[in-house]
Amino acid sequence: MRRLACIALVSTLAAPAAARPELTPPPSARRATIDRVIAVVGGVVVFASELATQVRWGSADLSATPARKRHASIRKLARQSYEALIERALVEAAGARAGEQVSDAERKTLLDQMDWPSPEATCAAARISREEYDRMLTAMVLEQRLFGRWLQNHPTESAGDSARKKWLRELFRDIPVERRLRF
């Protein structure tokens, strides 16, 4: 559910820039400050949504833990949510640059592999629209496809977290310097 909430926010914030990069103005000091504020506020919103979802579904019972551990859990959730936002935006930008298209059959195959409830139940739990849900599935299919190609081009890497982090770093390096402040 954390990924759903993060993807919904990333889609809202990053879609206009990814769709029309030629209209993105060069960053200035004021714009960079505004982008940072939006990122922080977005991280807080995603974190609050994630925490509420986990408490509602019973997977996070923070009331029984000491205050110090509770604050550490909150910080960890916030960091994970923010990292997921950045990763999703990187994958969407890479897919847009490569001109990748995702079919309905690929989305259905992905859903068959995952143990998710119905789309309506998932949208209600994550508090996102059906359009955002479809965009999230598209981004997940793109991530599998692009990461799979990267692994084929790097046969010495195994499909673990360290390889995924290297791949994400390469995606970030491919972004023009003037647009990196958005991430």
Going residue by residue through the chain, which has 183 residues, state the pLDDT in tens, using 9 for 90 and above: 555 555 555 555 555 544 545 555 555 655 666 666 666 666 656 666 666 555 554 444 455 555 566 566 666 666 666 666 667 777 777 787 778 888 888 888 888 887 777 888 878 877 778 888 888 888 888 888 888 888 888 888 887 778 888 888 887 777 665 555 554
Rounded to whole angstroms, the Cα distance separating 73 from 55 reads 12
| 3-class secondary structure, 87 | helix
| 3-class secondary structure, 84 | helix
Tell me what pLDDT residue 153 has.
Answer: 85
Rounded to whole angstroms, the Cα distance separating 115 from 148 reads 21
Is residue 125 within 8 Å of residue 1, measured between CB atoms? yes
Which are the contacts of 100, defined by CB distance < 8 A and separation ≥ 6?
A: 142, 145, 146
The structure tokens 């879609």 sit at 15
Work out the number of other CB atoms within 10 angstroms of the CB of residue 105: 8
Rounded to whole angstroms, the Cα distance separating 163 from 165 reads 5
Give this prediction's pTM: 0.51
The structure tokens 């993060």 sit at 6
